[in-house]
């Protein structure tokens, strides 16, 4: 059973701080790594994806991938109260379907 | 309107009844998916479809039936609803099963009493 694990949280950070969300996965052959944001009562929306080891930046978001250690993380710089949501990590190996983690709830305190 | 729409948004049904959840997308995406989301389990794939008339099981297919006679529609039917099928159901679509992100519909909250 391929697994994707995330700390359920809540992770609380003050406004303006860096929020660090982590995700580990069990399938060493995983190739694609996606981050989704889900506001309470809403559907998930894609915010970042990464395929290669290292960092990928998009505005205030940075995805970090370390395939050797089998973890992927999402950093949110200058966190805002509007970033308060659940963040889902999704991982897949080519030829297979994505496996979603349970999500980490982030709370950004004004 | 362009996008992916699900109906109904909320549904209450009785145990043993058949219920169908609808999903419609306007992008002509090849792939469509049905997920259920439950506390503690995250999103779990029920069924997916690679094209019209091509469907395949996901992680939790038991008790569900799907069809895809047209590219834009992917209905999910609970043949005989059980309380364990109380959940939030999301439909999603994508150009690819693996390399592109999925776009999710707004979800259907189903309660089986």
Tell me whether residues B101 and A95 touch, CB distance under 8 A. Answer: no
List of chain B residues whose C-beta atoms are within 8 Å of the C-beta of residue A34:
101
**Strands, E assignment, A1-110:** 4-6, 11-14, 19-25, 32-38, 45-50, 54-58, 61-66, 71-76, 85-92, 99-100, 104-109
Q: Is the pLDDT of residue A17 over 70?
A: yes
pLDDT in tens, A26-50: 999 999 999 999 999 999 999 999 9
Average pLDDT of span B35-47: 92
User: Smallest CA–CA separation between A1 and chain B, in Å?
Assistant: 10
- The whole-number pLDDT of residue B1 equals 59
A7 touches B: beta carbon within 8 Å = no
Question: Per the structure block, which two tokens stand in for B70?
Answer: 């047209």
> Nearest Cα to A98, choosing from A6, A7, A35, A45?
A35
**CB-side exposure of B54: number of CA atoms within 13 Å?**
8
User: With 80 as the cut, is the pLDDT of residue B40 above it?
Assistant: no
Token output for B51:
């094209």
Between strands A45-50 and A32-38, the pairing is antiparallel
Smallest Cα distance from A102 to chain B, Å: 4
Dump pLDDT digits (tens) for A51-84. Answer: 999 999 999 999 999 999 999 999 999 999 999 9
Nearest partner of B67 among B58, B78, B59, B77, judged by Cα: B77
Least confident of A2-16, A56-70, B64-78: A2-16
Going by C-beta distance under 8 Å and a sequence separation of 6 or more, which residues neighbour residue A49?
A32, A33, A34, A35, A63, B101
In this predicted structure, the answer to whether residue B99 has a pLDDT above a threshold of 90 is: no
């Amino acid at each position: 059973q391929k697994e994707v694990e995330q700390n359920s949280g809540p992770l609380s950070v003050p406004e303006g701080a860096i929020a660090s969300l982590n995700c580990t996965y069990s399938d060493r052959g995983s190739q694609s790594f996606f981050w989704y944001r889900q506001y309470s009562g809403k559907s998930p929306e894609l915010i970042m994806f990464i395929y290669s080891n290292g960092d990928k930046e998009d505005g205030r978001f940075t995805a970090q991938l370390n395939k050797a250690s089998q973890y992927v993380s999402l950093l949110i710089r200058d966190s805002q109260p509007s970033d308060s949501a659940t963040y889902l990590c999704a991982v897949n190996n080519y030829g297979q379907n994505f496996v979603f983690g349970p999500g980490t709830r982030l709370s950004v305190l004004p | 309107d362009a996008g992916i729409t699900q109906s109904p948004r909320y549904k209450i049904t009785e145990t043993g009844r058949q219920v169908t959840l609808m999903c419609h997308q306007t992008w002509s995406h090849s792939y469509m998916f049905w997920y259920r989301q439950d506390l503690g389990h995250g999103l779990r794939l029920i069924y997916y479809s690679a094209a019209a008339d091509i469907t395949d099981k996901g992680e939790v297919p038991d008790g569900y039936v799907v069809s895809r006679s047209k590219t834009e529609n992917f209905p999910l039917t609970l043949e005989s609803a059980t309380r364990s099928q109380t959940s939030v159901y999301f439909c999603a679509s994508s150009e690819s099963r693996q390399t592109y992100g999925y776009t999710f519909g707004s979800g259907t909250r189903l309660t089986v009493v």
